[in-house]
Structure 1
Amino acid sequence: MDLEKSPKDGNRRLSKLDKLTIVNKRFTLSFLMNIGLALMFFGIKLSLAYKCLMTSVDNPKEVNPSLYESSFRLSFILIAIPAAWLSLKFSPLTWFGRSILAHSILLFIIALFGHVHFGFLVVLKFLEGVIAGTAFILFHASWKNWTTAAERSTLITFALAGQYLGEIIADLTTKFCSEFLFWILLSGILGIFTIIWWILWESVVYETPNTHRSISEEEYNQIHPIIQEELRPTENVSCKQIIFSAPFLVLVIVHVFRSWSVRFYLYEINSLILIHIMKFISFPLSGYLADVLVRKTSLTRTHVRKLFITGVYSMECIYYLMLTNLHMDNWVWFLISFIMEILFNTSYSAACINAIDIAPSHAGVTVAITSIVSHGTFLLVFSMDRYLHEIDWYDMVNFIAIIGHLLAGIVYGIYGTANPITVKE
């Protein structure tokens, strides 16, 4: 369809219906993505929960939870690059919906046939990582035609918060997975809701605004010309040019230490549900705040990204110094860690959106590589943390974190940008 020929006939035909719609089409997309990710991450957490895992196998003694979880993480990493290629060659929105649907079908299989043998269950968990990893990359690639740079942080962080919503629901329900029939029932209910979600997704989601049958002319004219103008200088950029650009290499360094910090905030196990709720709230709010700062102040998007990333890194350096040298009551550390978690989500949201800022036409590529780096760092630090605890060198980990965060913050403060990489550059 010609880009200049927007679906005006369709708008005239459905204009009355569209005017009755409270929310616009791009927020509808963000909301549906939020629910889709919530359903998927609920299923992931459900199949990872220890009680559910024990009730889904005939012989609990053969279960190795570490192997089971590692199979998921490994496949999540391995599928990143193929998923990035998929996002460049096919419709990301269409395949994102199919990925969520495929995960629900796989969850049925895990619940019904996982008890055959633990090895078979590990294979199924590996496949779940493939599907989840693909959906994660496609999610980021899906936004290039639907959000302008001015509202990118708000829409994407709200949609991404669905993963935290899924974890909240899972935390509330998996504690009851002491009976195999409940595990089957929960999987069935989740699968039914996901199928309903997919039918709705296929009915109301379109790849671009100019192919949407019921978008209003007001919304179309508000976003489509701006998006096309923003994408035009970036569409002919090669993947090699993006990967070896200074903004992307700096972002990779940021993700190394962003993932490093995940392991070190101190929480009591009975507060995890509170932490997930706080993540669900603070993550989208930080994205909304980023866009508000750009609209209401003289700060540019680059300034805001640097404020959220470099500023939080500086505060994390202070946190690690306190962790190494000060001894305080547990409730004080809990309060400090709680505040640092809010700041962490602020910085994480900025880093996630920055991967799309610098390459809106190739977001699948940038997110795939930063995802590999993030998960690899997390696994490395997890092993390092355990080993250094055994030899009483735990302060060394904090020292590395202080130096690393300080250097990463300085480097991003100098070379980081929210401007897209263009052919000219």
Structure 2
Amino acid sequence: MDQVKFLGCIYGGCTILNKRFTLSLLMCIGFTIMFSGINLTQRNRCLSLSHGEIDDPFIHLSSFLIGYIIIQLPAAWVTLKFSPLIWFGRSIFAHAILLFAVALLGSFGYVFLVVLKFFEGALSGIAFIVCHAAWKNWTPAAERSTLLTFALAGGYLGDFFGLVMSIFCASLPFWMFVCCIIGIFGIIWWLVWERTVYETPNKHPTISNEELNQIHPLIQDEIRPTEGVSCKEIILSIPFLVLVAVNILRAWNLRFLMYRKEDMIITSFIRFTSFPLSGYLADVLVRKTSLTITNVRKLFVIGVTLLEAVFFFTSMYHDHLNNANWLYWVSFLMQILYHVAISAVCVNAVDIAPSHAGVTAAIMNIIFHIIVSFGFKIEFYLHERDWTRLVDFISIVGHLIVGVLYGIYGTADPITVKG
């Protein structure tokens, strides 16, 4: 079955059941299980079954976010010292066990739930970071977009399933039962993961010689020049700093995309489809055209950045975006474009530091979530003072500046000791 062709994929040898695609598929399923549980226990309707109406979800949501953020750098350190793939499996398994605790103990009191959500945030933070670091031994640069974005898309798919399940929580016993079912799936997933996944291709006992010879020498040639680079050199490099600026724009723009309760299902669908498809498209462009990986990253990042600047310019003269007008429908297109750029930024963090991808992903993820968190309050403050147009103008200028900087300094080439 290892020779079943998958869309005539990269290098003529990517197959449906080859080991690197199996790894990506298992990561996708793991994230789906984890984020289904996270969103099921996060939605107010489900929580109200055990704690009454929760008017302000700030406490348990903040507990989750604090756990998620503070674990980022320790998780990045773990990826430099230990096997990322082992820790990814452990984080999903631990979350599966935690879901049983949420179902059984979360109803005892709101304080129990807040503590459990903190640990849930920490486990999801570990999974996110080690996922980025795990690919250094398994995917050449020209396949990275497809495999990494498909793996991470499980988080969006889990959001979708968790949202749907939370809508149909009709009683407390049913909510607890669903939590336990997701936990059981997580344990089963871990048993499969432990018997399927190996740290490097040359350690995999059942990998075909064709796949091993196809990817292992190429991967070694790509990561060898980056292994002697220090974290300090990466963090202070211009490509990384420019990528951080792009990531700040991604976080800021998330506040201005359309989110209405009646649109949540369709926006969730847009996320988990557009994110991996854009990753696959990036690799297709590299394979089928004369564009380099760097050129494709610039095409996605700069192209979306300029279109967002146009969107902000248009929104300056339309005060009622929530009304049924054409600009409201354009916002769904902006959702797609936003996740096209997000996929490029996520993969670019691995491009420039494949041996230290956990570090780059952790720093950018911390900045992203801090900007998103403050974005809520900033947006509310500015709307109260009717400064929205001024902010849109500043956003336009910022997009143009960052777009130019990324066009000059953005790269998909790894940072090496020689710079």
Q: TM-score, normalised by structure 2?
A: 0.94
C-alpha spacing 1:290/1:18, structure 2 compared with 1 (3 Å): closer
- Is the CA contact (8 Å cut-off) linking 1:286 and 1:346 kept in structure 2? yes
State which of 332, 337, 360 in structure 1 corresponds to 2:326. Answer: 332
2: CA distance between counterparts of 1:117 and 1:186? Answer: 19
- 2:362 matched residue in structure 1: 368
1:168 Cα deviation after fit: 1.4
> Does residue 1:72 correspond to 2:64, yes or no?
yes
State which of 144, 164, 168 in structure 2 corresponds to 1:176. Answer: 168
Identity of aligned residues (%): 56
State which of 317, 322, 329 in structure 1 corresponds to 2:314. Answer: 322
- Is the CA contact (8 Å cut-off) linking 1:266 and 1:333 kept in structure 2? no
Unaligned runs of 5+ in 1: 1-16
Deviations 1:269-311 (A, max 9, x none): 2121111112211111111111111111111111111111111
- 1:410 matched residue in structure 2: 404
2: CA distance between counterparts of 1:201 and 1:331? Answer: 48
1:399 Cα deviation after fit: 2.3
1:193 Cα deviation after fit: 0.7
Unaligned runs of 5+ in 2: 5-14
User: Match of 2:416, as an amino acid?
Assistant: T
- Is the CA contact (8 Å cut-off) linking 2:72 and 2:126 kept in structure 1? yes
1: CA distance between counterparts of 2:56 and 2:270? Answer: 31
State which of 135, 153, 156 in structure 1 corresponds to 2:127. Answer: 135
User: Match of 1:202, as an amino acid?
Assistant: E
224-233 vs 374-383, which moves further: 374-383
1:121 Cα deviation after fit: 1.4
2:198 aligns to what SS in structure 1? coil
1:117 Cα deviation after fit: 2.1
- Is the CA contact (8 Å cut-off) linking 1:63 and 1:118 kept in structure 2? no
1: CA distance between counterparts of 2:375 and 2:2? Answer: 51
1: CA distance between counterparts of 2:374 and 2:386? Answer: 18
- 1:28 matched residue in structure 2: 22
What pairs with 1:153-168 in structure 2 (closer than 5 Å)? 153-168=145-160
1: CA distance between counterparts of 2:393 and 2:170? Answer: 43
What pairs with 1:64-143 in structure 2 (closer than 5 Å)? 64-143=56-135
> Does residue 1:199 correspond to 2:202, yes or no?
no
Alignment: residue pair count? 407
2: CA distance between counterparts of 1:206 and 1:128? Answer: 26
2: CA distance between counterparts of 1:283 and 1:334? Answer: 21
- Is the CA contact (8 Å cut-off) linking 1:282 and 1:346 kept in structure 2? yes
Deviations 1:13-62 (A, max 9, x none): xxxx75689510000000000000001111110111111111133xx367
Regions of 4+ moved over 3 Å: 17-22, 61-64, 326-329
State which of 211, 223, 247 in structure 1 corresponds to 2:239. Answer: 247
C-alpha spacing 1:91/1:46, structure 2 compared with 1 (3 Å): same
1:142 aligns to what SS in structure 2? helix
1: CA distance between counterparts of 2:123 and 2:384? Answer: 36
C-alpha spacing 1:267/1:126, structure 2 compared with 1 (3 Å): closer
- 1:260 matched residue in structure 2: 252
- 2:283 matched residue in structure 1: 291
State which of 322, 335, 346 in structure 2 corresponds to 1:341. Answer: 335
- Is the CA contact (8 Å cut-off) linking 2:156 and 2:271 kept in structure 1? yes
- 1:380 matched residue in structure 2: 374
- 1:353 matched residue in structure 2: 347
- 1:146 matched residue in structure 2: 138
1: CA distance between counterparts of 2:404 and 2:237? Answer: 18
1: CA distance between counterparts of 2:258 and 2:132? Answer: 30
2: CA distance between counterparts of 1:48 and 1:239? Answer: 35
1: CA distance between counterparts of 2:326 and 2:53? Answer: 40
State which of 277, 301, 313 in structure 2 corresponds to 1:309. Answer: 301
- Is the CA contact (8 Å cut-off) linking 2:146 and 2:276 kept in structure 1? yes
1:325 aligns to what SS in structure 2? coil
> Does residue 1:390 correspond to 2:404, yes or no?
no
- Is the CA contact (8 Å cut-off) linking 1:267 and 1:334 kept in structure 2? no
State which of 395, 410, 414 in structure 2 corresponds to 1:420. Answer: 414
User: Match of 1:25, as an amino acid?
Assistant: K
User: Match of 2:147, as an amino acid?
Assistant: L
1: CA distance between counterparts of 2:280 and 2:16? Answer: 20
State which of 42, 45, 55 in structure 1 corresponds to 2:39. Answer: 45
